[in-house]
Structure 1
Amino acid sequence: MTVRLSVIIPAYDNASQLDVTLGSLTRQTLPAGEFEVIVCDDGSPAPLAPVADKYADRLTIACVRAEQNRGRSANRNAGAAAARADVLVFLDSDTVAHPDLLGLHAGFHAGRGGRPGVLLGRRFDIDWAGVDALRRGEPLTAAMLDGYRGDPRDVNVVLPQHRADFQRAPWLLGFSHNVSMDRATFAAVGGFDEAMVRWGLEDTELFYRVFHHHGGAPEVFALSDDAVAYHLPHYRPTRALLATLDNIGYVTRKHRCWDFEAMHSPGTLGEILGRVRLYGDAIAACRRLGLGRPAGDEDLASTRTLAIGFGVAGLALGEGSHTFDHAAEPSPTNWHLLGLMLQHFKTGQFERIVNIDLWRFMMPEDLNLFVTKGLMKADRIDLVATDGGPDPATLLPLPFVADLGYVAELLGSHFKVATAVCGGRTVLSVR
């Protein structure tokens, strides 16, 4: 038989959980000859090859071992490098496969006729009764899989608008515990980023690159309700969770773009999905309406400024200035952000932050965030509004500020706000 899938299982020092996961792969409805299993042992103190060898009579299985722990990204990449199939399935070593799981992954990719694709499967976070059943090789009952033991992502896609939002930012739900993708795409984007050696976000970051590699095409990613696996409970030290902060800092330096920036917006993952869609459409609307453009009479040549808008990179700005110019190519001094992510600047780095019209498309809580963070980085924020803007009702569901007086009043109870009108623009200066 042709090997259709390479199932890559990264593991470290968890032989008992790996044993349950491998046992579930012997009960697949997809014939065993149509997939291979690659266990990636990331330098476990006690090698995991003996666990894999137990299944050599029932599975096409190999163990790839690193003598030193290199981290989750390098470990998965090592498994992918050893894979023979055109489709890679990433399954965590504490994630037990439903009997139909591999068949559903194989069917998804076969149905695409060679076109690239990513299938995100579901994961039930089971507890003690479920573990007992799985360790005995028994099926789980409905009571073991009720609403309290579902996929943690379910709440983020339960509403119709969030299902639509998924197509605009599927990478936000791109968890690697149960996912498949074509090997050509994995190779084209360079696999997991091996600079990320600690826990968290290495899968989100990979699928962010996959999404943009394919030009944001919505049909590349699919979220399956039927491709199910079961997550075994395990102990995770607090230090491992805190390590995610290191990865957050790394990926936000690597991807200085508005869609990744949306992760810094307050709210649930579902709400962040919505932010990506809304802000992508807002930037397009701002460009279409001719908003966000400097008037040409700005006197900033001697001022350290963070300027945000369209065409602001062409302004004469003081030494040490920076821009978020969405009409210019990204560069070390020009990022495609909105202003929610300012932690890469030092306290007091700028004298002024000038945001031309893009601030008007921020959700209220994000505008609050921008002002609060901005006044840590600059002495003053100028919220510039081009006169004669559109009726907000015509832009819905996009947010858009037309009542500048209301914003001045809202901010004025917490900051010093001065309003000036000149040259067809209104400027709210916040200190």
Structure 2
Amino acid sequence: MKPEISVIVPVYNDRMGVEVTLKSLVKQDVPVGKYEIIVADNGSDDGTQEIVKNYAERHQELIKLVIEDKIQSSYAARNMGIKHAKGNILCFLDADMWVEKDYISKAADIFKSPDVKYLGCNVEVITSSDTLIEKHHKATGFPVKRDIQHQHYAPTCCVIVRRDVFDKVGLFDERLISGEDLEFGNRVFEAGYKQFYAEDILLYHPACKSLKKQIKRHFRYGRGRFQLSYFYPEKYQKVFYP
């Protein structure tokens, strides 16, 4: 039986994070044949692939590991996942995130409407301590509804896209280290697709725990902005560098 929904999880050297994600995805309240999980590894060398293989052995009809180790880019990994996915509805989730058991069933219900092609989900940042770093991440978080309304995109950690959208507008730009969620969302919007937000599909993302990780995160965002303005100057140069 061909699955209706494919969940694509890119990962690179995050064995603990991917296990958290897989634990929640294998506990969905729908039959196994309705969905599949594609873990797209970006060349991990820390044991991440072994964790995924172990899960795949226990859930052979559900989990598949694919590897993209030629291009170091989470978007290249996502594209590899898309190429191997069998579903017509593609859910993107980052390794280290987790979901409720009705994640798949709620997505399937919303996508029963043929008008729904691109959907952003609600993301809650979960803290494990009372540090300023974690509080800051929770406060800034993921304003997905605002991003869809004002900038016409949803982060790739929480977006669900019908396959025929990729057929029309193309895959993710693998050259970018960050910011491709914005560029791809804008491409979708400019192609005339409506973009929706699902408040009740709740995903969970762990808060950034250290200043070092926070600095690396913002450095990646800054580099992504530079790349956007370089590769798409007519669209983003004035936005980021007026």
For normalisation by structure 1, the TM-score amounts to: 0.49
> How far does residue 29 in structure 1 lie from its aligned partner after superposition?
1.6
Equivalents in 1 of 2:202, 2:54: separation in Å?
25
Find the partner of 1:85 among 62, 84, 87: 87
* 1:152-191 residue CA offsets vs partner (Å, 9 max, x unmatched): 244x85xxxx6xx9546422xx101111101111232221
> How far does residue 106 in structure 1 lie from its aligned partner after superposition?
1.5
Equivalents in 2 of 1:97, 1:7: separation in Å?
12
Matches within 5 A, 1:219-368: 220-234=194-208, 236=213, 238-253=215-230, 254=232, 256-257=234-235, 260=236, 263-264=239-240, 341-342=241-242
Unaligned runs of 5+ in 1: 130-147, 265-340, 343-431
Equivalents in 2 of 1:40, 1:152: separation in Å?
25
- Of Structure 1 and Structure 2, the greater helix share is in 2
Equivalents in 2 of 1:167, 1:237: separation in Å?
26
Equivalents in 2 of 1:167, 1:127: separation in Å?
27
Look up the SS of the partner of 1:247 in the other structure.
Answer: helix
1:193 paired with 2:182, answer no
- Percent identity reads 25
Q: What is the number of equivalent residue pairs in this alignment?
A: 230
Look up the SS of the partner of 1:110 in the other structure.
Answer: coil
Larger Rg belongs to: 1
Equivalents in 2 of 1:119, 1:32: separation in Å?
23
Equivalents in 2 of 1:87, 1:77: separation in Å?
14
Look up the SS of the partner of 2:175 in the other structure.
Answer: coil
Find the partner of 1:202 among 170, 180, 183: 180
Equivalents in 2 of 1:226, 1:263: separation in Å?
32
Task: Note closer, same or farther for the CA distance 1:233–1:166 as it changes in structure 2 (3 Å cut).
Answer: closer
Find the partner of 2:152 among 150, 170, 178: 170
Matches within 5 A, 1:17-56: 17-56=17-56
Equivalents in 2 of 1:246, 1:166: separation in Å?
22
Look up the SS of the partner of 1:186 in the other structure.
Answer: helix
Kindly indicate whether the alpha-carbon contact (under 8 Å) linking 1:125 and 1:151 is maintained by their aligned counterparts in 2: no
Give the aligned partner of residue 362 of structure 1.
Answer: none
Find the partner of 2:75 among 73, 77, 93: 73
* 1:1-30 residue CA offsets vs partner (Å, 9 max, x unmatched): 440111100001110111011000122122
Q: Which residue identity does 2:215 align to in structure 1?
A: T
Task: Note closer, same or farther for the CA distance 1:153–1:43 as it changes in structure 2 (3 Å cut).
Answer: closer
Give the aligned partner of residue 152 of structure 1.
Answer: 141
Equivalents in 1 of 2:148, 2:123: separation in Å?
17
* 1:48-77 residue CA offsets vs partner (Å, 9 max, x unmatched): 332223333335111111335511111111
> How far does residue 42 in structure 1 lie from its aligned partner after superposition?
0.5
Look up the SS of the partner of 2:107 in the other structure.
Answer: helix
Deviates more, 1:120-129 or 1:244-253: 244-253
* 1:116-175 residue CA offsets vs partner (Å, 9 max, x unmatched): 51110111110127xxxxxxxxxxxxxxxxxx9578244x85xxxx6xx9546422xx10
Pick 1 or 2: higher relative contact order, CA cutoff 8 A, min separation 6: 2
Unaligned runs of 5+ in 2: 130-136
Give the aligned partner of residue 124 of structure 2.
Answer: 124
Equivalents in 1 of 2:13, 2:157: separation in Å?
17
Equivalents in 2 of 1:223, 1:195: separation in Å?
27
Equivalents in 2 of 1:85, 1:31: separation in Å?
14
Kindly indicate whether the alpha-carbon contact (under 8 Å) linking 1:96 and 1:232 is maintained by their aligned counterparts in 2: no
> How far does residue 249 in structure 1 lie from its aligned partner after superposition?
2.2
Kindly indicate whether the alpha-carbon contact (under 8 Å) linking 2:120 and 2:159 is maintained by their aligned counterparts in 1: yes
